[in-house]
Amino acid sequence: MPYGSGLHRSERVLPEPGPAFAYTPENLQEFEKVVQRYPAEHRRSAILPALHLVQAQQGYITGNSMAYVAERIGCSRADVEDMVSFYTMYFTRPVGTYVLQVCRTLSCALCGAERITEALEEKLGIRAGQTDPTGTFTLLEVECLGACDRAPVIMVNDDWHECARPEDVDTLIEGLRTRGPAALTGCHLHVEKD
Ligand code: FES
């Protein structure tokens, strides 16, 4: 299956400017706290967390929000675009409430990741790279999520669903609809710590 959903930017294409953007007062306060972590001459190091704040606030990254971050950081817009186009965790189009990222790299592939993607496609009535008509779920295929010993792995927003099985897809989706992230198996590192 071809990689690339159009939700992640892997090439430099000017994004839609989108609506005017400014942090909420709470996010502006958080941004000011974050930039303090870095020496003034390395202020650009705060671009990544600054973009996370944009995405948390607006759901995805637009041209106007990149320009806003560039101005706040004091760098060029190209510096911000470089980050957005390099890292796949930034979305440049609207996504669903839950972004399901199915790992398709070797360990997960050998453990049936493709069957899981197919089961999710069937359950949600969409293809990988799409968002369901209710705007609740976006389905993506991604490369290694770093939990190969618990393959197959699905990342759901910032949470984990490990040791996934195609036959559990119905339960997973219905669980997310009714219980939210509590429906996920979580990361075994957290489970073992608790
Ligand atoms: S191969 Fe899937 S998490 Fe590493």
pLDDT, tens digit, for every residue of 99-123?
999 999 999 999 999 999 999 999 9
d(CA 79, CA 141): 27
* Same domain assignment for residues 103 and 88: no
Ligand 1 atom having least distance to the Cα of 150: 3
pLDDT, tens digit, for every residue of 147-176?
999 999 999 998 999 999 999 999 999 999
* Same domain assignment for residues 139 and 111: yes
pLDDT of the residue at 194: 45
Q: DSSP label at 186?
A: B
Contacts of 123 (CB under 8 A, 6+ apart): 169, 170, 173
Contacts of 137 (CB under 8 A, 6+ apart): 96, 97, 98, 99, 100, 124, 126, 131, 173, 176
Q: How many domains does the chain have?
A: 2
pLDDT, tens digit, for every residue of 58-103?
999 999 999 999 999 999 999 999 999 998 889 999 999 999 999 9
* Same domain assignment for residues 116 and 81: no
Cβ atoms of residues 153 and 145 within 8 Å: yes
Q: Could you tell me the distance, in angstroms and rounded to a whole number, from the CA of residue 73 to the centre of ligand 1?
A: 34
- Domain end, chosen from 59, 92, 125, is at 92
- Domain end, chosen from 92, 125, 144, is at 92
pLDDT at 1 over 80: no
Ligand 1 atom having least distance to the Cα of 108: 2
| CB 148 near ligand 1, within 6 Å | yes
Token pair recorded at residue 39 = 């020496």
* Same domain assignment for residues 178 and 135: yes
**Is pTM beyond 0.75 here?**
yes
pLDDT, tens digit, for every residue of 25-55?
999 999 999 999 999 899 999 999 999 999 9
Full residue range of the structural domain in which residue 81 is found: 1-92
* Same domain assignment for residues 20 and 81: yes
SS (H, E, C) 130-142: CECCCCCEEEEEE
Q: What is the CATH number of the domain that holds 65?
A: 1.10.10.1590
Q: Could you tell me the distance, in angstroms and rounded to a whole number, from the CA of residue 161 to the centre of ligand 1?
A: 12
Q: 144-159: b or e for each residue (b if 16 or more CB lie within 10 Å)?
A: ebebbebbbbbbbbeb
pLDDT at 130 over 70: yes
